[in-house]
Structure 1
Amino acid sequence: MSITRFSFPTTIHFGAGARTRVADHLREAGCRRPLMVTDKALAALPVLAEFRGHLSGLDVAVFDGVFGNPLASQVMAGAAAFKAHGADSVIGFGGGAALDVAKVVGLLATHPGDVLEYAWDHPQVRPITMPLPHFVALPTTAGTGSEVGRSSVISDDATHVKRIIFSPQILAKAVFADPELTFGLPSAVTAATGMDALTHNVESYLSPAYHPLCDGIALEGTRIAARALATAVREPTNLQARSDMLMSSMMGAIAFQKDLGAVHSCAHALGTVCDLHHGLANALMIDTVLAWNVEAVPAKFDELAHVAGVSGGGAAFVPWLRELKAAVGITGGLAQRGVTAAQLPRLVEIATADICHQTNPRPCTASDFERLFRQAM
């Protein structure tokens, strides 16, 4: 048997009110001048002002230049804000985009070059050679699980291609996962981000890579999301449902260090070409891709159906997914979201080049991607 290396190091403070512990944590770490990285929309909402009220005694600056899919220019602007404030730490506050930017603001504030030069696939990738500023994360959505991830997905401003900076050094020193921070999410955002969390758990479990620890986490994450997502959409202040989805989101992000699959390759292409929200893109593709994957790993689909509480075995899992999507308001196909046939060649090109489908349970060629996109239209 080959030797496989595992690591689950992130410290997590989980539960209602966890946000009130951030100031004490930073002071104990010797930090006094944090830069809060968040997105434009969130910065204008009462939830951020309320959180800032728990940071008394700290000299806090706010960088709210994140919007849409995170861009390299946003990271560089955040790094400039860090230096201008003389910051000693970073607070990531927001959804996946804000947290992905926050993870690497400290990197670019202390290291030379452009953020994309640290992407794992850069031809002359720069190493991380110095300690990074103290970084803590507070998720306000339950989808990407970026708060516990060791990667940051940043888009090239010119091409919109998503690039990945991957290093354990960009992990948060502590996560404050407070479900009350997700109460204000609109139902459509709750649905899209929730489907993102579910997709992470499902695809990581279906990956043929060897990682039983992740398999166990992914199955439990699937079970939790299956019981909680529709309730979180219908009842936005249901603390149990919001807590469940926040936990499922983190579990999916921990599990997908095992790797993902073709759903994510399609979603990355849709984000690049059509600027589609990542969670929504996953939701629009998951049933089409998984219906194609069933024959490759039927026993795994049986297990997914079991943990999701779906009767009828693995063959019933994809129909259940379609019913769940409808129940949370995600209806229609790609065409209803503005995707056109003229974009198919570029979508296929990006998806085929994407690394995620290399661990899909069924090998996926360019012609397969073209067929899947057409079926999802």
Structure 2
Amino acid sequence: MSLSGFSFPTAIQFGPGARKEVGKHLLDQGLKRPLIVTDKALGALPVLKEFQSHLQGLDVAVFSGVFGNPTASQVMAGGAAYKAHRADCVIGFGGGAALDVAKVVGIAATHEGDIIEYVWDHPNVRPITNALPYFVALPTTSGTGSEVGRSSVVSEDDTHLKRVVFSARILARKVFADPELTLGLPPHVTAATGMDALTHNIESYLSPAYHPLCDGIALEGARIAARSLLKAVKEPSDISARSDMMMSSMMGAIAFQKDLGAVHSCAHALGAVADLHHGLANALMIDAVLEWNHEMVPEKFDELAHVCKVAGGGKAFVPWLRQLKRSVGITGTLSSHGVKPEQIPRLVDIAVKDICHQTNPRPVTAGDFERLFKAAM
């Protein structure tokens, strides 16, 4: 048996009202000039103003230039805003896109070159050599779990290909996970981001990589999402359900350091080609991929069915997922969400090159991806 390494370093303050602790925490670190990195929509909403009211004693600037799937140019603009404010720390405030940008704004502000030069598979990848700004994260959605991740996904501006900056140095120094920040999410966003969290937990558990710690976290994350996603959608003010989904989201992101699978390779391709929301893309692909994976790891599907309280065992797990999606309002196929059959060759090309499917429980070829996309059309 080979040697394995495990690490769970993120400090997390969890619960209603956690956002109110950020100002004191930064002042205790001797920091006074934070740059809040958020997205355009949140930047115009009262929830950001309310959060800022708890940052008394700090000289705060806001960069709200994040929108859609985050791009390299957004990161570079954030780095410029950091320098213009003479900031000494970064507060990431938002969903996965805003947090992915916030995690690497510090690289753009303190290093030379474009952020794409720091992605892990760049042919002349630049090392992160300088000290990075102190970074704290506040998620406002429950899906990506980006607040606890050591990777940032940014797209190339011209090709829209998703690229990954991966380093433990971009981890948040502290996460303030406040489920009250998700109370205003509309049902369709709660559903799509919730399916993202559930997909992370499921795919990381199904991955053949060796990481029993992540397996345990993934199973519990799936159990929590299974019991609370529908309630969070149907009863959006239920703080218990909102708390469950925020915890499941973080658990999924912690678990997927074990790696993911073909659902995510498909979703990354759909984001690049059709600009689909990542959680929605996962939800539209998960049936076809899991049905295809089942025969390779039936015992794992049995375990997922057990923790999610699915009657009928592992064979009933995918039908249960389909019904859950319908219950939370995610319906239709890829084609009904704007994906065209003529885009399949491009989707296949990107999915094959994506790293996630390398830890799918069943090896995936270009022909397999073509069949999976067609099955989801």
Aligned to 1:284: 284
What is the distance in 1 between the residues matched to 2:310 and 2:341? Answer: 35
What is the distance in 2 between the residues matched to 1:168 and 1:345? Answer: 35
Equivalent position amino acid for 2:93 in 1: F
After superposition, the C-alpha distances for 1:162-200 in whole angstroms (9 at most, x for unaligned) are: 000000000000000000000010100000000000000
Matched, 1:335 2:335: yes
Deviation of the 1:93 alpha carbon: 0.1
- Structure 1 spans left out of the alignment, 5+ residues: none
What is the distance in 2 between the residues matched to 1:373 and 1:247? Answer: 31
What is the distance in 1 between the residues matched to 2:87 and 2:312? Answer: 56
Aligned to 2:317: 317
Aligned to 2:137: 137
Aligned to 1:25: 25
Deviation of the 1:274 alpha carbon: 0.3
What are the residue-to-residue correspondences of 1:201-350 with 2, within 5 Å?
Answer: 201-350=201-350
Aligned to 1:87: 87
What are the residue-to-residue correspondences of 1:174-193 with 2, within 5 Å?
Answer: 174-193=174-193
What are the residue-to-residue correspondences of 1:7-46 with 2, within 5 Å?
Answer: 7-46=7-46
What is the distance in 2 between the residues matched to 1:239 and 1:288? Answer: 33
Deviation of the 1:2 alpha carbon: 1.0
What is the distance in 1 between the residues matched to 2:30 and 2:131? Answer: 15
Matched-pair identity in %: 76
What is the distance in 2 between the residues matched to 1:108 and 1:241? Answer: 37
Aligned to 1:5: 5
Give the ranges of 4+ consecutive aligned residues of structure 1 lying more than 4 Å apart after TM superposition.
none
What is the distance in 2 between the residues matched to 1:117 and 1:4? Answer: 29
Q: Match of 2:124, SS?
A: coil
Q: Match of 1:70, SS?
A: coil
What is the distance in 1 between the residues matched to 2:30 and 2:132? Answer: 14
Equivalent position amino acid for 1:181 in 2: L
Q: Match of 1:37, SS?
A: strand
Aligned to 2:366: 366
Q: Match of 2:62, SS?
A: strand
Matched, 1:152 2:152: yes
Equivalent position amino acid for 1:70 in 2: P
Matched, 1:173 2:173: yes
Q: What is the TM-score with the length of structure 1 in the denominator?
A: 1.00
What are the residue-to-residue correspondences of 1:30-69 with 2, within 5 Å?
Answer: 30-69=30-69
What is the distance in 1 between the residues matched to 2:149 and 2:237? Answer: 26
Q: Match of 1:30, SS?
A: coil
Deviation of the 1:107 alpha carbon: 1.1
- Report the aligned-residue RMSD: 0.4
Aligned to 2:196: 196
Q: Match of 2:311, SS?
A: coil
What is the distance in 1 between the residues matched to 2:356 and 2:173? Answer: 27
Deviation of the 1:294 alpha carbon: 0.3
Q: Match of 2:126, SS?
A: coil
What is the distance in 1 between the residues matched to 2:232 and 2:48? Answer: 21
Equivalent position amino acid for 1:203 in 2: E
What are the residue-to-residue correspondences of 1:100-119 with 2, within 5 Å?
Answer: 100-119=100-119
Deviation of the 1:131 alpha carbon: 1.3
Deviation of the 1:30 alpha carbon: 1.1
Matched, 1:354 2:354: yes
What is the distance in 2 between the residues matched to 1:30 and 1:169? Answer: 20
Deviation of the 1:114 alpha carbon: 0.5
What is the distance in 1 between the residues matched to 2:375 and 2:247? Answer: 32
What is the distance in 2 between the residues matched to 1:374 and 1:204? Answer: 24
Q: Match of 1:165, SS?
A: strand
After superposition, the C-alpha distances for 1:118-167 in whole angstroms (9 at most, x for unaligned) are: 00000011001111100000000000000000000000000000000000
Deviation of the 1:75 alpha carbon: 0.1
Deviation of the 1:247 alpha carbon: 0.1
What is the distance in 1 between the residues matched to 2:219 and 2:39? Answer: 32
Aligned to 2:375: 375
Q: What is the TM-score with the length of structure 2 in the denominator?
A: 1.00
What is the distance in 2 between the residues matched to 1:349 and 1:205? Answer: 26
Q: Match of 2:370, SS?
A: helix
Deviation of the 1:216 alpha carbon: 0.2
What is the distance in 2 between the residues matched to 1:168 and 1:28? Answer: 23
Equivalent position amino acid for 1:220 in 2: E
After superposition, the C-alpha distances for 1:49-101 in whole angstroms (9 at most, x for unaligned) are: 10000001100000000000000000000000000000000000000000000
What is the distance in 2 between the residues matched to 1:296 and 1:181? Answer: 40
Equivalent position amino acid for 2:160 in 1: H
- Structure 2 spans left out of the alignment, 5+ residues: none
Deviation of the 1:242 alpha carbon: 0.2
Equivalent position amino acid for 1:59 in 2: D
What is the distance in 2 between the residues matched to 1:166 and 1:93? Answer: 20
